[in-house]
Amino acid sequence: GESVGLHLPTLSVQEGDNSIINCAYSNSASDYFIWYKQESGKGPQFIIDIRSNMDKRQGQRVTVLLNKTVKHLSLQIAATQPGDSAVYFCAERANYGGSQGNLIFGKGTKLSVKP
Amino acid sequence: DAGVIQSPRHEVTEMGQEVTLRCKPISGHDYLFWYRQTMMRGLELLIYFNNNVPIDDSGMPEDRFSAKMPNASFSTLKIQPSEPRDSAVYFCASRAGTDISYNEQFFGPGTRLTVL
A6 → chain B, closest CA residue: B42
Question: For the stretch B66-88, what's the b/e string if a residue is b when 16 or more beta carbons lie within 10 angstroms of its beta carbon?
Answer: ebebeebbebebebeebeeebbb
Report chain A residues whose CB lies below 8 A from the CB of B45: 102-104
- CA-CA distance, B43 to B59, in Å (whole number)? 11
- The answer, for B40 touching chain A at a CB cutoff of 8 Å, is no
In the predicted model, is pLDDT for residue B13 greater than 50? yes
Q: Could you report the per-residue pLDDT of B54-102, keeping only the tens digit for each?
A: 988 989 988 999 999 999 999 999 999 999 999 999 999 998 875 555 5
Taking a C-beta distance cutoff of 8 angstroms, is the pair B73, B6 a contact?
no
Q: How does pLDDT run across A89-105, given as a tens digit for each residue?
A: 999 887 655 455 578 88
Rounded to a whole number of angstroms, the distance from the CA of A94 to the nearest CA of chain B is: 11
pLDDT at B42: 84
Rounded Cα–Cα distance for residues B30 and B15 (Å): 34
List the single residue in B42, B100, B107 with the smallest CB-CB distance to A107.
Answer: B42
